[in-house]
Structure 1
Amino acid sequence: MQPLSGIKVLDFTTLLPGPLAGLILAEAGADVTKVERPEGEEIRRYAPRWGAESIQFSLLNRGKKSVTVDLKDKAALSRIEPLIAESDVLIEQFRPGVMARLGLDYDTVRKIRPNIVYCSITGYGQHGPKAYVAGHDLNYIAETGLLSLSFGNTGKTVVPPALIADIGGGTMPTVINILLALLRRNASGEGAYIDIAMADTMFTYAWWALGLGNALGDWPGNGDAMLTGGSPRYQIFPTRDGRFVAVAALEQKFWNTLCDLVGLEERLRDDSVDPEATTGALRAIIGNRAAEEWRQVFDGQDCATNVIRTLDEAVRDPHFLERGLFDYVLENDQGKRIPAMPVPVAPQFRGDRTDAKTAPALGADDEGGTAG
């Protein structure tokens, strides 16, 4: 039995933060029903298509149900009440005040289901001067100062490779707090209202910079701190053939091994004397050989250094294959199969690896609908 078997989730969210949270709950056994407008959420229509739906929608909504409701039609809201009455969790991702205008705010919903766990996901939270400000992931990491710690330079700015605020500030806190609320409900019978602001958790990601700034008054700038490019021990260096090496040899034992492996001059090994000179020397050394040569040098060595893999290379890595990250199966309406989305749910809680699941067709679980 999966840990969330029997838990029913009503999901009003779209795009990434809420749908991924719903996916994680579904992968742990919850019964998740998406509530969509009659034309469906916009991500269904994204490119590229994979069968009838977009690949993004399919990945994020594996194993869920779908019902369609025009939330602006007051008469249609009567269709929602029976779903609320049997739900344990409700997740929404509208701007503050929207659910109240629709007649679906927490105070109204808990009259139908008193012990419901109701979670709202927004950029800046339900209150505060920025509560109604529009934004996306890049805006939230910019507004909280996280992006200022490493973004390249005026000649070549760098957009982060991950949606840190959407997933790290939206999805993960949503799942954590829903599980905490359910745990408390098991003990007390009490429901909860949870206000998730994606921007808030960005300060958690800046933990080391906050320590330096608050305790010492030494606020890190762009790329000048130990973990953002200010140290030769934590750095990215280009190879001769246009690939890159990731050096994370922070501990002295790793640093000593790395210096020996690359043949760094003795006078430059104490990087506290002239960090820029040490960094420059490493850049020249690593830039003198191809990535595959460096891979052979670093593989099997205790130096916290490796060649940066492409994503295509990484998904074929025997280590990740052995751990079963890509064993779970997503199937589309045409019977085609690909690996399902890897999620941070332990295998013993996730269910059968061989059980192919689909994303729901729009309205598949409407009264009289046919499951997709």
Structure 2
Amino acid sequence: METCPTNPLLRGVRVLDLSRLLPGPFCSLYLAQLGADVIKIEEPGGDYARASAELFEQVNRGKRSITLDLRQSDDVARFKALVAEADVVLESFRPGVMDKLGCGYDTLKRINPRLVYAALTGYGQTGPYRDRAGHDVNYLAIAGVLDQIGAHGGPPAMSNLQIADLAGGALTCAIGILAALFGARASGVGSFVDVGMADGSAALQVMALAALRQHGAALPRGCDVFTGALPNYAIYRCRDGRHLAIGALEPKFFRALLTGIAPALPGWVNRVVARKLAPRPTGAPSAAPDDPQAAARAKLQPFGKTTTDPRDARRMLAPLRWLLTLLFLTRPRDAWVELLEAADACVTPVLTLGEALDNAQLRARGMVLDDGGKPAFNLPIFFDNACATHGPSPALGADNDGVLGTLAQTMR
């Protein structure tokens, strides 16, 4: 991988990363790609994720690795010496573990008052669940997210995107670290950053919470605007077994969709659609441009059916869903993509990951990197005066001599 030729934005920031597996390392990966010097501190046996080499290599690119056993007093002393010169400590142990090792925040901030100490855990440092074990699916379940995912009438569904680990945890923690670093630079005083993945996942539920506030409860799976209530915001199977994603939510996009598929519709259907899309008669009431409730109703009346409840929209628009379901089964996916490409109707093919890696848009954005002949993703943030830094993932203890050797000289 190429090294960024410009000065990275986090140049000079040193991160001591004690975290393992996925959430913490993904958080520090972003910091490393932004230019921070991330030193991955592993037990002599290494991060558990090393057993899955492809996973480990993805989330630990561009970091250094040293081995310390914090159950040994000599290694605790080495760690504290590193803390004295560090900007950030990141750990993902259960609450209280670092205190038992003599390396808790209260101890470390006396060594380095400007230290940013980030603890990334499942349920945070407080509350009745703080000591419980868990994984992504558990945090999503507790946060109410899992109940929102799945088909209408079916059970909650699993996702291969670890929403709690990555969005609720890793990225939330990265934001907290960057904010605390900014504060430390301004005040000279560091912070304890407490991030719980269940908390972060709960906070992502903007649309579900909006429904609860409006209707008194989150809507059942498949019954909200973005989970399948509307036939114009849905996924459809095509003749070849592939799928189309339809996002024609606003009336203008819905009209564009119907206009785009018109050549494939029987004549009688086109006549019905034309009547439904006819302009309002002169003098017909229209929504004021600053009326948010009217705008919300407009989103739920693509066929002239007015309601503020997506559950009613699902029932009233069932004939349209039936029509579109049958229609999209008449042609292969790519034929529909070609037909609708110029319609500007928010229609895209559902790609496999392999197809996405070859997608012209992701390639044009520089999102796909060559990592020793294997694909990797770039940092999805682009700056006009800096670029992401990249490097290979480290072998276990690869930097013991460089980091600990130098440290030994200063500790004499």
SS at match of 2:12: coil
**Hey, what does 2:364 align to over in structure 1?**
322
Give, as a single letter, the amino acid of the residue that structure 2 aligns with 1:350: C
**Hey, what does 2:78 align to over in structure 1?**
79
CA gap 1:26/1:121 in 2 versus in 1, 3 angstroms: same
CA distance in 2, matches of 1:226, 1:246: 14
Query: CA contact under 8 A between 2:152 and 2:220: conserved in structure 1?
Result: no
**Hey, what does 1:64 align to over in structure 2?**
63
Give, as a single letter, the amino acid of the residue that structure 1 aligns with 2:223: D
Is 1:31 aligned to residue 37 of structure 2?
yes
Query: CA contact under 8 A between 2:366 and 2:378: conserved in structure 1?
Result: no
**Hey, what does 1:270 align to over in structure 2?**
303
Gaps of 5+ in 1: 47-53, 331-335
CA positional deviation for 1:69: 1.1
SS at match of 1:262: helix
CA positional deviation for 1:351: 4.2
CA distance in 2, matches of 1:204, 1:248: 24
Worse-matched range after superposition: 26-35 or 287-296 = 287-296
**Hey, what does 2:222 align to over in structure 1?**
223
**Hey, what does 2:328 align to over in structure 1?**
286
CA positional deviation for 1:212: 2.0
SS at match of 2:119: strand
Query: CA contact under 8 A between 1:115 and 1:189: conserved in structure 2?
Result: yes
Give, as a single letter, the amino acid of the residue that structure 1 aligns with 2:400: D
Give, as a single letter, the amino acid of the residue that structure 1 aligns with 2:43: R
CA positional deviation for 1:146: 1.1
Query: CA contact under 8 A between 1:32 and 1:65: conserved in structure 2?
Result: yes
CA positional deviation for 1:341: 3.0
CA positional deviation for 1:63: 1.3
CA distance in 2, matches of 1:37, 1:363: 9
CA positional deviation for 1:203: 2.2
CA positional deviation for 1:217: 1.4
**Hey, what does 1:349 align to over in structure 2?**
386
2:395 to 355, 358, 361: 361
TM-score (norm 1): 0.90
After superposition, the C-alpha distances for 1:14-52 in whole angstroms (9 at most, x for unaligned) are 111110111111111100000101010111111xxxxxx
CA gap 1:220/1:72 in 2 versus in 1, 3 angstroms: same
CA positional deviation for 1:76: 2.3
CA distance in 2, matches of 1:5, 1:220: 46
Query: CA contact under 8 A between 1:27 and 1:345: conserved in structure 2?
Result: no
CA distance in 1, matches of 2:403, 2:130: 38
SS at match of 1:228: helix
User: Map of 1:1-372 to 2, 5 A cutoff?
Assistant: 1-46=7-52, 54-152=53-151, 158-263=157-262, 265=269, 266=272, 270=303, 272=305, 274-327=316-369, 329-330=370-371, 336-347=372-383, 348-351=385-388, 357-367=391-401
CA distance in 1, matches of 2:156, 2:215: 28
Q: How many residues align?
A: 355
CA distance in 2, matches of 1:260, 1:28: 45
Worse-matched range after superposition: 207-216 or 276-285 = 207-216
CA gap 1:215/1:155 in 2 versus in 1, 3 angstroms: closer
CA positional deviation for 1:215: 4.0
CA distance in 2, matches of 1:69, 1:271: 67
CA gap 1:9/1:281 in 2 versus in 1, 3 angstroms: same
Alpha-carbon RMSD across the aligned residues, in angstroms, is 2.2
CA positional deviation for 1:339: 4.0
CA distance in 1, matches of 2:154, 2:220: 17
CA distance in 1, matches of 2:373, 2:180: 35
After superposition, the C-alpha distances for 1:109-167 in whole angstroms (9 at most, x for unaligned) are 11111110000001110000111121111111111111111223676763123111011
Query: CA contact under 8 A between 1:363 and 1:369: conserved in structure 2?
Result: no
After superposition, the C-alpha distances for 1:328-352 in whole angstroms (9 at most, x for unaligned) are x53xxxxx44344322332543346
**Hey, what does 2:282 align to over in structure 1?**
none
CA distance in 2, matches of 1:214, 1:130: 26
After superposition, the C-alpha distances for 1:249-306 in whole angstroms (9 at most, x for unaligned) are 0011100011122236436761737221211111111112111211111223210012
**Hey, what does 1:333 align to over in structure 2?**
none
CA positional deviation for 1:208: 1.4
Give, as a single letter, the amino acid of the residue that structure 2 aligns with 1:112: I
Q: Using the aligned pairs only, state the percent identity.
A: 36
